[in-house]
Structure 1
């Protein structure tokens, strides 16, 4: 289990880059919790599996949420962090940004960039 994680990402919605150096203060506790078995339903059957996925959610505004899970239906939040804005070079992401804007424009115009609720 890593105790320290560095994440950098580019938010297409905001055209902004972020950086977070995350210290998992309770890494040993998280690792033990990940060994716990939880039911998960797949293909019409229920399976008992450990919570062996450590997932980092990167949200607009620089929020990073960390979960453990074996499926989204039983995710357990184990940490919430704030990233720092870093120098951005949107031109490096021009093509994929154009595709993102095409796919997301209507939603963002109607609802705005979803910064809260993560």
Structure 2
């Protein structure tokens, strides 16, 4: 368990803040995904989940956040997506719906390391449980859809926005968060302050246009 997660989790246990009020889910797993603006590359060191039963899922997600790096600076990283997808991520199998998600990530264009905790509200979990009759244009069928995906969009400056989404469903924004800088730097200080390199496309964009901080 990470140094960031351990003291917070211990405090929750000591104060009795984790309760077991599980309700049977209409699906057997939910998706945790991450995305980033065009060219604004992100490496997720870890995303740790505590579900509403109090079970901990260490490194429920890690790796690259999904983004686009169109050639010739033809992309536009400014602002938030008009329609949030599910992002690049993993399914959290065997877990109940989340109570908290702890994320530590590297914003490679700055470069900077951030950490944050996302509180998942009762109303957000209720959105994830509710089924809706929706039409899927891809196959021309009506289905009962569920917002079984949590999508976190990570922007430079430690700004994050969270949606819940699902196949053929409209996404719903549920949170916006300002993360804090992790003073240990990348990999909890174990890399000597060295960050991974940017792709050529991202490097080219940032050198020409910089990072559009005020757009998020």
Common topology (TM > 0.5): yes
Coordinate RMSD, CA, aligned: 2.4
Distance in 1, matches of 2:209 and 2:155, equals 15
Shift of 1:47: 5.0
The alignment status of 1:65 with 2:128, answered yes or no, reads no
2:203 to 88, 98, 105: 105
Q: Quickly say closer, same or farther: Cα 1:112–1:36, change in 2 above 3 A.
A: farther
The alignment status of 1:9 with 2:105, answered yes or no, reads yes
Aligned ranges for residues 33-72 of structure 1 at < 5 Å? 33-34=127-128, 35-37=130-132, 38-42=134-138, 45=140, 48=143, 49-71=145-167
Alignment gaps of 5+ in structure 1: none
1:5-48 deviation per Cα after TM superposition (whole angstroms, max 9, x unaligned): 11000011111000002222x2x211221223244443x54553
1:88 to 170, 182, 185: 185
> SS of the residue aligned with 1:107?
helix
Conserved? CA contact 1:15–1:88, under 8 Å: no
Alignment gaps of 5+ in structure 2: 1-96, 187-192
Greater helix content: 1
